[in-house]
Amino acid sequence: MIYKLRNIRGCVWASAVILFIIAASSVTAIDYPESAVETVADTLHGTVIEDPYRWLEDQWSERTRDWIDRQNAFTRSYLDTLSVRPAVRERLAELMRVDEVSIPDVGGGRLFYKKRDKGEALFSIVMQEGPEASPEVLIDPRSFSDDESKSVGIVDVTCDGKLLAYSIREGGQDETVVRFFDVDSRRNLADSIPKSLNWGVGVFSHDGRGYYYATYVADVGPRAFYHEVGKADAEDQMIFGEAYGPGKYIDLEISDDGRYLIIFVSKGSSDTWVEVHYDNLEDTSGIITLVDEIEASFAGEVISDQFYLLTNWNAPNRRVLAANLDDPDPSKWREIIPEGETAIEDVSLAGGKLAARYVENASYHLRLFDLEGEPKGELALPSLGRCSNLYGQPSDNVAYYSFSSFVFPYTIYRHDVSTGTSDLWFQESVSIDPADYVVKQVWYSSKDGTRIPMFVVHGKDLTLDGNNPARLTGYGGFNSSQTPKFDARTLTWVEHGGVYAVANLRGGGEFGEEWHRAGMRENKQNVYDDFIAAGEWLIDNGYTRASKLGIAGGSNGGLLVGAAVTQRPDLFGAVVCSYPLLDMVRYHLFLVARFWIPEYGSSEDPDQFKYLLDYSPYHNIRSGADYPAVLFVTGDNDTRVDPSHGRKMTARMQALTGSDNPILLKYDTQAGHSHGQAIDQVIDDRADRLSFLLWQLNK
């Protein structure tokens, strides 16, 4: 659909400023830990903004640490006494303490993947000498820490399977260290890429003698390097990136034959503007620019001299083009897969075929094409749900893909590209009967009349009498599609009599780039309107009522529920807001947040400042408002979304709420935005969140 620009409601944001600068004074009977008010005033574009908790932005000051300790103790005094928590934790543990593996990387006939047996705390990196061989542990994360605070991940393997690059992550930090492992001798090499924000981006040269990687230098920008295996990292050569400043990042790929190094430069994280460069490693011509002035997204892979590009250039639902890298003139590009009525999310090359993953009405379809775009069938998935694309080498006939849905556990298939047959390679063993659940997709109208899809899951015997606790979630940003997936939290919630719903909000990628743009920057309020309308639909259709409607979201989804509760506190009974952005006036000043300016805008721009202030949750808390119970979740190791958002929001909402519903902060000094916690820590965290909602919604 074609989106419309939303009118900026100047009277609303002006009123928000007036409310924000009211002196903070608690009007609730709950005796919260003291949060000192030390107001700092800024004048932006002629508007005075007062921030009473700016001091909480100093994460490591003695005052802030003391405040965190007192808040955590206060929160645990509630969560540790919840009668429902033991049963919730037990069921989560039953569903989550199972064998888990990842899709394998293949090199030299060897399979490399992450594996966690049900009795283990963390994933190890294992290797099989072939499809029928027994797995052997290569990298055990316990060798890096005694407290299970470090996790490992696969970055790349060489074509011959003799060398492995792997990452070491501490807590939930985005930054990682990269190490190298000689597979034949089963030993670590001395080589190391120092801890940095590299997103695990790295590829070996075809001969395994070199390693190309990209990293982000704080306050400088992205840079790409070449590391010669066996040498110190201090000798690494910077090969690209000097021209780029903050707000951009680099991704690297290498062609199957090792001839071409591909460099993608994203201008922000909204997938709206990507440059493409390449280097023919067999000559000395240097890096050649393929795309740099087209405002569109580009991704893809190279086989032989053909670069298959997935792009939304003149195609909001994306299409696939082929560029000959020996003659890359855009006028000679060929259209291989045309734009269709549904969006293509990604493509991959495997077994001489193109695999295209389509999203249709918020579920995935995996379709195959030959290299000229001739359709070669669709993989039969078990049901509507979420799948990965095919993972394999362009020259290898075998590829792997995963699938799951709300009541279908995570499964990996081994696919023979030549015969079109798929065999079960792995499936999580969980104790569920799909017949016990109802899964449906409904459509509802948002505030402006736009039709929005939503998945609803509940027990088969649920009575629609408005008395059921409901857990509504969504995301609505960064072109990310929210498709059905298996999650122990969903089943545990439903088995405790709850309704689970996930709304496919504008800002996501479910219906292509137009859907994405209809929920970004000046159109961001559409996302919140869509979410609020989802809650109203659940109430109007007898699934729940306002006092029993809970909402939950993390990261951009944390911003979503933060905006929803400040705009419509009457609509919700409880909120879990995790690792959130909440101060949208200052968000871009911290960590890597300048990457998100293309998605949100920046308060440095006077027009963008107006709509950001209009919905910024931190600036729209109203003194004396009857807020529902809120559990904010963040932690020290969130190096992506600054945890000061959660700290400041907690202090301000505790001070101004007019209800006796608790406003709590769960602050983990070890956890962060990225994965990496031991399984028992994950279970405990999820038990806290679900128990909090059940406690509040079953009053």
Q: What is the pLDDT of residues 408-458, one digit of tens each?
A: 999 999 999 999 999 999 999 998 899 999 999 999 999 999 999 999 999
Q: Angle at Cα 408 formed by Cα 407 and Cα 413, nearest 5°?
A: 170
Residue 608 lies in a domain: yes
Active site residue 555: yes
Predicted confidence (pLDDT) at residue 539 exceeds the cutoff of 90: yes
Residue 380 lies in a domain: yes
Do the beta carbons of residue 553 and residue 528 sit within 8 Å? no
Q: Give the end of a domain, one of 402, 429, 456.
A: 429
Residue 329 lies in a domain: no
Catalytic one among 619, 673, 674, 691? 673
| Averaged pLDDT, 540-565 | 98
**Strands 629-635 and 663-668, bridge-based pairing:** parallel
pTM over 0.85: yes
In this structure, the answer to whether residues 507 and 630 fall within a common structural domain is yes
In which domain, by residue range, is 405 found? 346-429
Residue 467 lies in a domain: no
In this structure, the answer to whether residues 425 and 505 fall within a common structural domain is no
Do the beta carbons of residue 1 and residue 515 sit within 8 Å? yes
In this structure, the answer to whether residues 554 and 644 fall within a common structural domain is yes
Do the beta carbons of residue 385 and residue 363 sit within 8 Å? yes
| Averaged pLDDT, 396-407 | 96
Active site residue 205: no
Q: Give the end of a domain, one of 429, 453, 470.
A: 429
Q: How far is CA 218 from the centre of its chain?
A: 22
Q: Which residue has the tokens 């109208």?
A: 445
In this structure, the answer to whether residues 413 and 508 fall within a common structural domain is no
Residue 635 lies in a domain: yes
| Averaged pLDDT, 196-211 | 86
Residues 6+ apart with CB under 8 A from 620: 16, 19, 20, 563, 566, 567
Strands (E), 560-693: 574-578, 629-635, 663-668
pLDDT digits (tens, 9 = 90+) for 647-687: 999 999 999 999 999 999 999 988 777 677 899 999 999 99
Do the beta carbons of residue 405 and residue 386 sit within 8 Å? yes
Q: Which helix (H) or strand (E) holds 489?
A: helix 488-495
Q: Give the end of a domain, one of 405, 429, 453.
A: 429
Residue 29 sits at φ, ψ, to 5 deg, of: -80, -15
Do the beta carbons of residue 414 and residue 422 sit within 8 Å? yes
What CATH number is attached to the domain comprising 79?
A: 3.40.50.1820
Rounded CA-CA distance 388/103 in Å is 9
| Averaged pLDDT, 58-80 | 98
Predicted confidence (pLDDT) at residue 199 exceeds the cutoff of 70: no
In this structure, the answer to whether residues 424 and 505 fall within a common structural domain is no
Do the beta carbons of residue 579 and residue 554 sit within 8 Å? yes
Number of structural domains (the chain) is 2
In this structure, the answer to whether residues 373 and 506 fall within a common structural domain is no
What is the structure's pLDDT at 297? 96
Rounded CA-CA distance 500/490 in Å is 7
Residues 6+ apart with CB under 8 A from 46: none
Residue 212 lies in a domain: no
pLDDT digits (tens, 9 = 90+) for 374-400: 999 999 999 999 999 999 988 889 999
Predicted confidence (pLDDT) at residue 150 exceeds the cutoff of 80: yes
Catalytic one among 151, 555, 578, 644? 555
Q: How confident is the model at residue 22 (pLDDT cuts 50, 70, 90)?
A: very low
Q: Counting runs of H as helices and runs of E as strands, what totals does the chain give?
A: 11, 39
More confident residue, 612 or 293: 612
Q: How confident is the model at residue 74 (pLDDT cuts 50, 70, 90)?
A: very high
pLDDT digits (tens, 9 = 90+) for 321-365: 999 999 999 999 999 999 999 999 999 999 999 999 999 999 999
Q: How confident is the model at residue 463 (pLDDT cuts 50, 70, 90)?
A: very high
In this structure, the answer to whether residues 539 and 663 fall within a common structural domain is yes
In this structure, the answer to whether residues 567 and 688 fall within a common structural domain is yes
Rounded CA-CA distance 304/288 in Å is 17
Residue 332 lies in a domain: no
> 679-697 vs 488-495: helix axis angle to the nearest 10?
30
In this structure, the answer to whether residues 423 and 507 fall within a common structural domain is no
In this structure, the answer to whether residues 535 and 639 fall within a common structural domain is yes
Residue 155 lies in a domain: no
Q: Which residues of 244-283 are buried (b: 16+ CB within 10 A; e: fewer)?
A: bebbbbbbbbbbbebbbbbbbbbbbbbbbbbbbbbbbbee
Residues 6+ apart with CB under 8 A from 225: 212, 213, 214, 215, 236, 237, 238, 239
Q: How confident is the model at residue 18 (pLDDT cuts 50, 70, 90)?
A: very low
What is the structure's pLDDT at 28? 61
